[in-house]
Structure 1
Amino acid sequence: MELNKTTPGINYQINFNLLSSEECTIIKKLAKKYWYVTRIEKKDYNRSSYSIAFLKPVDYITQNFNLIREVVLIMSPYQSFEARTLDVLDDLNVQLLRLEEICCFVASKDTNIKNVLNNFLKSNTESRVVVPFTYEEIISSQDDEFLINRMRTCFYSRDLFGIQDPLKKELYFFGRRDLIQELANKHKNNENAGIFGLRKTGKTSIIYGVIRTLDRKQSYAQLIDCQTLHLQTWNIALRTIIWKIIAGLNLKQKNFKDNYNQYEDQSKVVMAFEQDLSEILRLSKKDILLIFDEIENITFGTSISETWNTGQSFVRFWQVIRSFCQHNETKQHFSFLIAGTNPQCIEKPTVAGADNPIFEQFAPIYIPPFNFEQAEEMLTRLGGYMGFNFEKQAIAAIVDDFGGHPLLIRQMASYIHRHEKNIRPINIGKYEYQEHKKQFYQEEAGFSRYAVMILKVLEDWYKDEYEMLTLLAKEDIETFKELATTDIFIKHLKSYGIIEKDSTQVGYHFRIEALQNYLSGQFRYHKKLKTDKDKEAEIQERRSGIEKSLRTLVKRQLKSSLGEVVAKEEIIRSIYGPHEIGHKSNIAYSDFFNPQKHKIYLKTLFDTIERRYDIFENLFDVKIDEFKNKAQLLNRYRRVDAHSISISDADFEIFRGIASWFEGILSEE
């Protein structure tokens, strides 16, 4: 970590005449131990006047809060604080002045400032870390640690990794800057483009980055959300796009009203669209980029709207847009960028019996995963503000485990933030990370829900590729290698960054190790087992799990249906016989289901269920004879070494089928 070797104090050139007496006291207190005040200025903003101070941190602050550059202090002398006061920072050239972008201090005379800011932050997850205090708090405080403690509260309680919505600002955006520049340059060169990636890889955040970049270059980018566009017919969708651009550029609507109704006549749509778009380009004098997000919603075969799904609307819609791209006679550039998870819109040559207007119009750009340097930048910077020092070995392990997937890395770091109990700042080495990772994998709200989200794309649209992944996870090497010889099956898996080629016997391995672990867990009972020892281990593991779940089910169902007294009699009858009911009725009901105290076996539970099947039938949803057959088969497969011959593959598959049936029923209870 870079240290400034700054000593506290005040720049002798500062003009204290700019400040009130209270503000002078605040500055002197801050400069006493932890800050060097470099300059002060007055800032008039939105009909209000504020005092602005620039504070350079001493090394202690740098080490504890990862603050290296100067921090802005806004002093608001008003009795009522409004969150828009923070906009003063946006009026400063933070990058040019080399100021800390992610945090600031705010002093106010409003005693309710903390509550005001807390309410603001709840709905503004991308806002800076704001450390608030009142004039009175800092002036009257006799504790040098007052501000440090307030900083700890604000910095260490904020989950900067937990943001899941697309990032509209640059503040918490990391990596992919080269990709954003590449996409912006394609537009400036009058080229169309498309970006694709798995769910939550940052597509929409990249789009916002392109919009910001083009805005700085005096171009205009119009974002089109296809999640709602598909609700309209192709011709009305084109009109919607035109009017979105008109509104975004603040053009006078009266210049375009003549063509408004023309879009309802499909024979006049092409002329209306070309006239309107040409006029927009002429009046605005700006290059225009149309960005279609969630393109699957207007793509044939994936849209939920019939005319788009059949491809009829798709073909007509893109014929019009492509035609304008080719015949644009204005001086301004016009192009489009499509973004989504599924690139089939540019992969198939024909749609609904017609040529696909955008077939191979450009090579799809797949969003690359984070490399080590990008992950290190994000984890080090955000983690530093939150009191975590991620060591290089830990960062390397995180990148390997999650294949550089940005959301997964963020969520792993967020999990560490929410579950780390030690006092901060703290080092997160490889060992500490591994301990947290185990829990992240096991928790229901942990990695598994993100794995399902990511794999859903393949499961829905690329079933062959999804099957290949499961084969790799199940270690069915022979079948995987057969399918891998067909390039089309392997293309998307490689492009999405899920697997990569290697020199092993298989030829490929999971790039996202966490997905491999997840799928291996999901399909752990589908692997081909060759030895009796492996088969025995699975049989014992699954029978044990089923027995444990059945104990819980029987215990609950007997008591809820029969009452505790009768339920106790039933379980005593099953374990010891009817003659012992009177002798053991004083024992606690729950104790009978503890295998350490009573001999309650899998067969005992099955006998109980069969005897009182009237209260279990609705749970198992089969007739009693079928249940008995399944129970007998499961109980038949006990220890392999108890038999004189090995269990055959056929018998083992029968066991797996029965075990899966019971596990499926019990998992729902």
Structure 2
Amino acid sequence: MLETTRRDDESLSQFHDRLNLTSNDDDYEKRGVACFIDDIRRYRGDKLFVIALDEIELITYNTATSETWKSLDAYKGFWSALRGCACPIVVCGVNSTINEVSNLTFNGEQCDNPMYGRIMNCSESGNTYLPAFTDDQTKEMINTLGKYSNIAFSYVYGRINNAFGGQPWAIRQFCSYIFDNVKSQRESTHVFEVSKATCDNLMRQFQTSSAGVHLCETILQHLSIYRSEYSLLKKMALSPEKYNSVSGDDIISIDHLQKYGLIEHDIHTGYISFCIGIIRDHICKTETKSPEDMDNNERRRYIQDCIAVCEKKLKQYILNYYTYASTPEIGRTLFFDTHGKCILKPHVGILPSSCIFPDFFDHKKFDFYFSKLKILISENWPQLGLRFTSINISKEKFISCMEDLNAGRTDADHYDPENTITYPENWEIDDQTMQAFRTAYNTMNRFFEFCGL
């Protein structure tokens, strides 16, 4: 419209000369915002001048892929320039922090948001979010695109639309996956019609394919900006029986989940459901359920797995100490009482008197009860407690942590975590016990990180 398009026979330097901008590259390096505003005003004149931006997540500080844009300075300068030129702006993308957050904090930087509230009705009107496609819209989109490659989706468009909640980008990614998998079957003389059987089988394959995983990661990456909403989405996926409805304050928290087309919420009953099954399944495979949402059997398994990790690391800590800070010979004496009897229970065929120091830490040779680790470390605190006290974990706190890590097991003094696969039938883990366990586990993890274990 303004005849500023570069011509086919025109070099880049010729194009720049013809534009006759008020500023050169050096000027932009020194005062980019002011130069941009001046040049836009020069060309705008009295005509309508609209700036349209697509995929703004690629140039937004917290979702950018380029290091150049992972900076609040770059973000603030760019949007300040666009705001200052006083042109209408059309913005498309999935990062609404440019309009909904007044103060920005990222990577230790802070600044005011120049675009806060500038995009009209973005946070209020559903019309600013692309609504889910209907079956007919999906049919038109994928058959129009498929026509260029002699492929049609006339029998499966409804299946595809339902599987991906009518989200156009996700639908196109899956259709591209179908194309890649059937292109060897296509012929130039007629249209290849995707059958229901082919669609259903490729749908299952897509979930674990690199393309499917990339789709899920891309969508969730943008949503993770909103921590409370992302946390709620995970709970919906991992504990659907507990989080199958929302009410009260949670209704506000699901705002973006609905606008992004990830869930459907019935305002009358409060019930919610996932719109895109592959997203739900991906979360279930890659995320861990919060202990407070676990049932008792899940809590038992969670605690058992955590204790097995603690046992290995505490064993390694003792082994390292008497290998490097002391001697293996002194360490070996820890496992025999004053009468020369081994304090650990050897497995069949294992003779303790013939074992070297590392053998006592091998769960295939000895039962090393978790309570024995507490006793060994606390009774040798002047040596083994030094590193604990250096990060403010006293002997008393260590003993308390070890007891809380047992989480109320009635057989706490009679099991080896690495060898245990069953639990006492009466082992009930209430919320208070679980909270104490998590506090103790976090304390021990802090120690393990300090020791590089």
Give yes or no for contact 1:637–1:655 (8 Å, CA) kept in 2.
Answer: no
1:359 paired to 2:120: yes
Distance 1:660 1:391, change over 3 A: farther
Question: In the alignment, which of 203, 206, 210 is matched to residue 396 of structure 1?
Answer: 203
Question: In the alignment, which of 383, 392, 396 is matched to residue 625 of structure 1?
Answer: 396
Give yes or no for contact 2:100–2:117 (8 Å, CA) kept in 1.
Answer: no
SS in 2 for 1:508: strand
1:579 paired to 2:340: yes
Give yes or no for contact 2:100–2:116 (8 Å, CA) kept in 1.
Answer: no
Question: In the alignment, which of 229, 232, 256 is matched to residue 20 of structure 2?
Answer: 256
Residue 251 of structure 1: how far off its partner (Å): 1.0
* Greater strand fraction, Structure 1 or Structure 2: 1
1:370 paired to 2:171: yes
Correspondence list, 1:260-409, <5 A = 260=24, 270-276=37-43, 293=56, 294-297=58-61, 304-305=71-72, 314-315=79-80, 317-320=82-85, 322=87, 338=91, 340-346=93-99, 356-360=117-121, 363-365=128-130, 368-370=169-171, 372-381=174-183, 394-400=201-207, 406=211, 408=213
SS in 2 for 1:481: coil
Structure 1 unmatched ranges of 5 or more: 1-187, 191-217, 222-245, 282-286, 326-335, 385-389, 411-449
Correspondence list, 1:63-142, <5 A = none
Q: How many Å separate the matches in 1 of 2:16 and 2:407?
A: 81
SS in 1 for 2:170: coil
Residue 465 of structure 1: how far off its partner (Å): 0.7
Distance 1:268 1:554, change over 3 A: closer
Give yes or no for contact 2:314–2:373 (8 Å, CA) kept in 1.
Answer: yes
Distance 1:267 1:539, change over 3 A: closer
Question: In the alignment, which of 405, 413, 426 is matched to residue 634 of structure 1?
Answer: 405
Distance 1:662 1:609, change over 3 A: same
Give yes or no for contact 1:289–1:337 (8 Å, CA) kept in 2.
Answer: yes
- Counterpart of 2:356 in structure 1 is 588
Alignment-mate amino acid for residue 375 of structure 1: Y
Give yes or no for contact 1:547–1:602 (8 Å, CA) kept in 2.
Answer: yes
- Counterpart of 1:507 in structure 2 is 272
Give yes or no for contact 2:313–2:448 (8 Å, CA) kept in 1.
Answer: yes
Residue 601 of structure 1: how far off its partner (Å): 1.2
Distance 1:380 1:553, change over 3 A: farther
Q: How many Å separate the matches in 2 of 1:456 and 1:469?
A: 13
Distance 1:548 1:382, change over 3 A: farther
Residue 602 of structure 1: how far off its partner (Å): 0.8
1:523 paired to 2:294: no
SS in 1 for 2:20: helix
Q: How many Å separate the matches in 1 of 2:438 and 2:117?
A: 47
Distance 1:458 1:633, change over 3 A: same
Distance 1:496 1:643, change over 3 A: closer
Residues 489-511 of structure 1, C-alpha deviation per residue, up to 9 Å, x if partnerless?
A: 32422444544569999521363
Residues 562-598 of structure 1, C-alpha deviation per residue, up to 9 Å, x if partnerless?
A: 233333333x23xx567248x9453133321223322
- Counterpart of 1:437 in structure 2 is none
Alignment-mate amino acid for residue 594 of structure 1: D
Alignment-mate amino acid for residue 314 of structure 1: W
Distance 1:634 1:356, change over 3 A: closer
Q: How many Å separate the matches in 2 of 1:593 and 1:394?
A: 48
Residue 518 of structure 1: how far off its partner (Å): 3.8
Residues 229-272 of structure 1, C-alpha deviation per residue, up to 9 Å, x if partnerless?
A: xxxxxxxxxxxxxxxxx985841437626555699598897554
Q: How many Å separate the matches in 1 of 2:83 and 2:272?
A: 40
Alignment-mate amino acid for residue 275 of structure 1: R
Correspondence list, 1:400-479, <5 A = 400=207, 406=211, 408=213, 455-459=220-224, 461-475=225-239
Correspondence list, 1:535-546, <5 A = 535-546=299-310
Residue 347 of structure 1: how far off its partner (Å): 5.6
Residue 472 of structure 1: how far off its partner (Å): 1.7
Residue 220 of structure 1: how far off its partner (Å): 5.8
Give yes or no for contact 1:295–1:340 (8 Å, CA) kept in 2.
Answer: no
Residues 587-618 of structure 1, C-alpha deviation per residue, up to 9 Å, x if partnerless?
A: 13332122332232112222222234434543
SS in 2 for 1:370: helix
Alignment-mate amino acid for residue 363 of structure 1: T
Alignment-mate amino acid for residue 387 of structure 2: N
Alignment-mate amino acid for residue 396 of structure 1: M
- Counterpart of 1:555 in structure 2 is 319
Q: How many Å separate the matches in 2 of 1:552 and 1:485?
A: 47
Residue 354 of structure 1: how far off its partner (Å): 8.8
Give yes or no for contact 2:239–2:289 (8 Å, CA) kept in 1.
Answer: no
Q: How many Å separate the matches in 1 of 2:211 and 2:426?
A: 54
TM-score by length of 2: 0.58
Question: In the alignment, which of 409, 415, 433 is matched to residue 651 of structure 1?
Answer: 433
SS in 2 for 1:637: coil
Structure 2 unmatched ranges of 5 or more: 64-68, 104-111, 131-166, 187-196, 343-350, 412-422
Residues 532-566 of structure 1, C-alpha deviation per residue, up to 9 Å, x if partnerless?
A: x5554544444344324433443344323323333
- Counterpart of 1:489 in structure 2 is 253
Distance 1:463 1:578, change over 3 A: farther
SS in 1 for 2:354: coil
SS in 2 for 1:482: coil
Q: How many Å separate the matches in 1 of 2:355 and 2:402?
A: 29
Residue 468 of structure 1: how far off its partner (Å): 1.0
TM-score by length of 1: 0.42
SS in 1 for 2:367: coil
Distance 1:639 1:526, change over 3 A: same
Give yes or no for contact 1:610–1:628 (8 Å, CA) kept in 2.
Answer: yes
Q: How many Å separate the matches in 2 of 1:504 and 1:550?
A: 51
Aligned-residue sequence identity (percent) comes to 14
Distance 1:548 1:455, change over 3 A: farther
Distance 1:376 1:484, change over 3 A: farther
